[in-house]
Structure 1
Amino acid sequence: MQSRGPGKQPGHKPGKYRDESLIPDFSSGVVRFPYRREPYARALLHLVDGGSETRDVKVTARTGDSAHLNVTFLDESRDNVTVVLWIPARDAVRIPASESSWRDPYDLDWD
């Protein structure tokens, strides 16, 4: 697992989530979930300042070894910016879409 660190990506602005600079080991490949049918999860997100917060997220992909998840969500504290980051899979648990506090408006199934 590598970390680019803040400011290493073109156009990167330092964020509030510690894992925004996480780059997992992709040697096991990447598995993407079907577009517009991605699962939801409740994730523990670690903050740069040392705290953490729990958020409902959409999981768009996982590493082949299932060690990391690529998640996306809207961050209201940053003017509803869409946050996309890789997190350790151990920090998330799958939930039904109906239990998520937010829903992607482009989902096909609204249970």
Structure 2
Amino acid sequence: MSTSTEPAPHSQTGRPAPRVSHAPYRREPYIRCRMVGLGVDGKAVAWTRTHVLVHWIDDDARAHNRWVHAAAVVRIRRDDSAWRDPYDDFEFYYAHASPQPAGAAS
């Protein structure tokens, strides 16, 4: 996980904006978000102490990004997600799995 540099002041309040953190590209944690009007499996692409930027692609192949309260988000395993990013870093998500020999039954 990496953290952004010193936050800039918020344009409306003059106070520093919350520090935003990000996972390495294509290694974002999978999440399940359940709240009124929203129920999706996706990825947490950024987060603060109170909010998570949820990314997912819907059934019509449209990408969505929405900030939601952190309390509405739980982390899940990639295999438990209804949506999976086809561009994931597979070695990161499956580092514990040993490679199967060619022709081996699963």
Q: Please indicate, yes or no, whether the TM-score normalized by the shorter chain is above 0.5.
A: yes
Cα gap change, 1:26/1:103 in structure 2, threshold over 3 Å: closer, same or farther?
farther
- Total equivalences in the alignment: 78
1:29 paired residue number? 19
> TM-score if structure 2 supplies the norm length?
0.66
Give the Cα–Cα distance (whole angstroms) in 2 for the partners of residues 68 and 26 of structure 1.
16
Instruction: Return the structure number with greater helix share.
Output: 1
Query: In the TM superposition, what is the alpha-carbon distance from 1:46 to its structure 2 partner?
Result: 3.0
Cα gap change, 1:42/1:26 in structure 2, threshold over 3 Å: closer, same or farther?
farther
> TM-score if structure 1 supplies the norm length?
0.63
CA RMSD of aligned residues (A): 1.8
Task: Return the letter of the residue paired with 2:39.
Answer: T
Instruction: Return the structure number with greater strand share.
Output: 1
- Which residue of 65, 74, 83 corresponds with 1:84? 65
Uncovered stretches (5+) of structure 1, i.e. residues with no partner: 1-24, 48-52
Which protein shows a greater Rg?
2
Task: Return the letter of the residue paired with 1:92.
Answer: V
1:16 paired residue number? none
Uncovered stretches (5+) of structure 2, i.e. residues with no partner: 1-14, 95-106
Alignment of 1:1-111 (within 5 A): 27-47=17-37, 53-63=38-48, 66-76=49-59, 79-109=60-90, 110-111=93-94
> What SS does the aligned partner of 1:27 have?
coil
Percent identity between matched residues is: 37
Cα gap change, 1:26/1:98 in structure 2, threshold over 3 Å: closer, same or farther?
farther
Give the Cα–Cα distance (whole angstroms) in 2 for the partners of residues 45 and 56 of structure 1.
12
Task: Give runs of ≥4 in structure 1 deviating > 3 Å.
Answer: none
